[in-house]
Structure 1
């Protein structure tokens, strides 16, 4: 419930209202805390997949620090695009932007084991994908019909399924540690388990900000245990600069067909997610539907925020759904509150020591956190799928898309004779699953939807027009 001391009910529902500064600043920082871990985690995962940056003695360690730093800085810049706006860019709503998990399954095959040199290909994909994302703002409303909950729920679930392996590897000791005696040790799992238990305890038994920041506080609990075990080193913090500015084309830029196609296709999915977030904010915070202008502006901001990130060595940005829920919880619709949070992110991004402190978090601690986060991504997809009318037609579409998408991801060598570009895209799992679901949903006749489902489901979906059992 909203704090009425912040403003009247009418003011709290107005995006242009500015609460008293003493209230607005804590509310803005609260938005940052809710998204902070999710925002910097993709940079760490991508660096780990590429095989650089881990360990303060690594020659490429400063490159990981830079990417963490830019994740914060450009999340703040992209958020300002949404809250303040520039011309048609921005929804002028309290939308928090951050580095997107959705692109990780696309990025990992592009950089796997190739070191910091592979970042140039990634940045080319981020730049072109961001510009394509911005163009989608011209007609995003007209193509939403092609992405019903059957497709979007499947895609979100596939994103989570593609990442859960990373969470387990990190909890056990990290991808570089696979095959070492310490990998999977009781100490590693004790640290990761502390994060999971603390996160769940706070999420379900605490209230207010303690519940909202459960993942962050869970990581701090795991960090304390890791420190007690002697797993934390602050050597890199002292060497990090106090202030550093973004560096254009820091990793260089290279345009790869596989990267461009992958980022553009995922931009389409991300754009639809943003439409959902904008609608969620206006419904939860203002009790109304989002306007076409707000949806278009939000899509433009997503795209341009991502494109600029690519120029300076950061990863794709998108709207953060957890902050949509935070607005519904606080009842404060002010975009200026989120602007304060954006400024805080930008300031953090200018201080490499902040990135250096984040880099001291042991991989096992991060593993415990991402197990929870990636599991929640899968759960979010399943929640979206609960809105699907589970008739035979939709079950067949889902079954084929899931089987091929997940199967190719689990067994990439099945496509070893395909050209490298096609292989990278197909073995991501997400893209083939999404394309199959979209195409089948558009082509299969709708009259199949009226037919019974028992022959393919064993009767489990034959409840009240295809609703989930027990509902």
Structure 2
């Protein structure tokens, strides 16, 4: 009986290689696709914080401008690298929603300067976490990382549907027009992805977003007032609101920083596994987390909220398979241009939430799928199933029962509301203490083998 023919390893395409550069005519639209996918998430937190501090229309435009500028600069650090900083992967940085549950009450109690001071310190602590990550990487086994990525996707799914309904607080929330527009974008995106070839397939989300934007304009759903009110050119100003340091604010932001660090580890793992089909290298994880912290401190200097790696763009990479970091570098340059030329940012900001929601539905689902793929890397024995069961129960159940978080004191209640925090802690603790965990040496050997395999694929 003849030996079975080994399965040939697929050839590495330009889509799967982080260091490859597609032709400029394709790279620019692909970079724009990344920006349109994350744009609403990046400008919404500064709009919310502007309402809390009673900002004027001019101040709101300024806060949007600096959020775009900081996101662009921070994205370049991730994609191009700066010494030990940066994963050198297609990671888009943007204003973090994760800090909002803590930042909003702090802004009300102490003012925006205290939030910015706490963000500066939290970013420095995250840099320290990234620098030490190699020594503690054995804490983040596939079951732990996979659970975090899976829950990121599950947590974002309602966000995509709320966008599809028109955005929470809109007068026509869940109207047939909004839902129909989101369904149109979703249909176009799926059709372009499944039946398109080459560039059309890779740019399926951009095709869906542009198509939906044009339909929204035809239906009279687009308000261009923000474009009209914005100036043509403006330089971002650092320290416009000053900076103060409060122990209470620093403690709250530091706790959330650790969770955001876990999210970044999960996002990087999802990119390499879902897009490139390999495990993340130590230097990619460490550099990515350090760049995340640097971006948060840099954001504080420029008057905006902490930055983080954007999960929706991870979903985009997983969906399209385009892992070129240079594509996202172009996206970072576009973000900087929008920060320097506010009218450009206003043009994208005018896109209705329903259009973004149609694309978000599939992208956020792809993040959860990447989490499942990571979990499959471990042996799904009774031990692993128990860790998954407890973590998912906490991660999905706690956000659905606000009364539990409301009975807890201060910051603990805020952390429980996210669901991701207790789930990640439960996964880390259970994986560390339950008997039967593969030895640390075996984990390190597995990581070294994965890194060696990746090095061969990327000579």
Equivalent residue number for residue 224 of structure 1: 214
- Stretch of structure 1 that moved more, 238-247 or 313-322: 313-322
Equivalent residue number for residue 37 of structure 1: 36
| Structure-2 separation of matches of 1:259 and 1:296 | 21
SS at match of 2:309: strand
In structure 2, do the counterparts of structure 1 residues 172 and 389 end up closer, same or farther at CA, with 3 Å as the change threshold? same
1:339-366 CA-to-partner distances (Å, cap 9, x unmatched) read 5554343223211101211221122222
SS at match of 1:259: helix
Equivalent residue number for residue 317 of structure 1: 308
SS at match of 1:427: helix
Equivalent residue number for residue 99 of structure 1: 94
Equivalent residue number for residue 89 of structure 1: 85
SS at match of 2:181: helix
SS at match of 1:307: helix
| Structure-1 separation of matches of 2:79 and 2:182 | 36
SS at match of 1:238: helix
| Structure-2 separation of matches of 1:121 and 1:217 | 42
In structure 2, do the counterparts of structure 1 residues 378 and 31 end up closer, same or farther at CA, with 3 Å as the change threshold? same
Q: Is residue 445 of structure 1 aligned with residue 438 of structure 2?
A: no
| Structure-1 separation of matches of 2:105 and 2:418 | 12
Q: Note if contact 1:258-1:424 (Cα within 8 Å) is conserved in structure 2.
A: no
Q: Is residue 165 of structure 1 aligned with residue 158 of structure 2?
A: yes
1:35-70 CA-to-partner distances (Å, cap 9, x unmatched) read 2123323224435766849xxxx9755555444433
- Once the two structures are TM-superposed, the CA of residue 404 in structure 1 deviates from its matched residue by 1.9
1:218-241 CA-to-partner distances (Å, cap 9, x unmatched) read 122222222222211222212211
Equivalent residue number for residue 274 of structure 1: 268
Q: Note if contact 2:387-2:427 (Cα within 8 Å) is conserved in structure 1.
A: yes
- Once the two structures are TM-superposed, the CA of residue 314 in structure 1 deviates from its matched residue by 4.8
Superposition RMSD in Å: 3.9
TM-score normalised per structure 2 = 0.77
| Structure-1 separation of matches of 2:174 and 2:319 | 36
- Stretch of structure 1 that moved more, 25-34 or 227-236: 25-34
Q: Is residue 202 of structure 1 aligned with residue 185 of structure 2?
A: no
Q: Note if contact 1:49-1:113 (Cα within 8 Å) is conserved in structure 2.
A: no
Equivalent residue number for residue 336 of structure 2: 346
- Once the two structures are TM-superposed, the CA of residue 200 in structure 1 deviates from its matched residue by 1.2
In structure 2, do the counterparts of structure 1 residues 275 and 183 end up closer, same or farther at CA, with 3 Å as the change threshold? closer
TM-score normalised per structure 1 = 0.75
In structure 2, do the counterparts of structure 1 residues 213 and 111 end up closer, same or farther at CA, with 3 Å as the change threshold? farther
| Structure-2 separation of matches of 1:174 and 1:130 | 30
Equivalent residue number for residue 72 of structure 2: 76
In structure 2, do the counterparts of structure 1 residues 85 and 389 end up closer, same or farther at CA, with 3 Å as the change threshold? closer
Segments of 5+ residues of structure 2 without an aligned counterpart are 1-10, 440-459
| Structure-1 separation of matches of 2:343 and 2:410 | 39
SS at match of 1:99: strand
Q: Note if contact 1:50-1:115 (Cα within 8 Å) is conserved in structure 2.
A: no
| Structure-1 separation of matches of 2:342 and 2:35 | 16
Q: Note if contact 1:105-1:159 (Cα within 8 Å) is conserved in structure 2.
A: no
Q: Note if contact 1:35-1:322 (Cα within 8 Å) is conserved in structure 2.
A: no
SS at match of 1:89: coil
SS at match of 2:169: helix
SS at match of 2:93: strand
Q: Is residue 133 of structure 1 aligned with residue 137 of structure 2?
A: no
In structure 2, do the counterparts of structure 1 residues 36 and 208 end up closer, same or farther at CA, with 3 Å as the change threshold? farther
| Structure-2 separation of matches of 1:187 and 1:159 | 29
- Once the two structures are TM-superposed, the CA of residue 261 in structure 1 deviates from its matched residue by 0.8
| Structure-2 separation of matches of 1:389 and 1:33 | 39
1:7-37 CA-to-partner distances (Å, cap 9, x unmatched) read xxxxx9895x9x7xxx764455245224212
In structure 2, do the counterparts of structure 1 residues 390 and 90 end up closer, same or farther at CA, with 3 Å as the change threshold? closer
- Once the two structures are TM-superposed, the CA of residue 298 in structure 1 deviates from its matched residue by 4.2
1:384-425 CA-to-partner distances (Å, cap 9, x unmatched) read 223232211111111111112222111122232321211001
Segments of 5+ residues of structure 1 without an aligned counterpart are 5-11, 450-471
Q: Is residue 244 of structure 1 aligned with residue 234 of structure 2?
A: yes
1:173-228 CA-to-partner distances (Å, cap 9, x unmatched) read 32113xx5x33221121111111111111121112332222223212222222222
Give runs of aligned pairs for residues 316-335 of structure 1, distance below 5 A.
316-318=307-309, 321=314, 329=322
SS at match of 1:446: coil
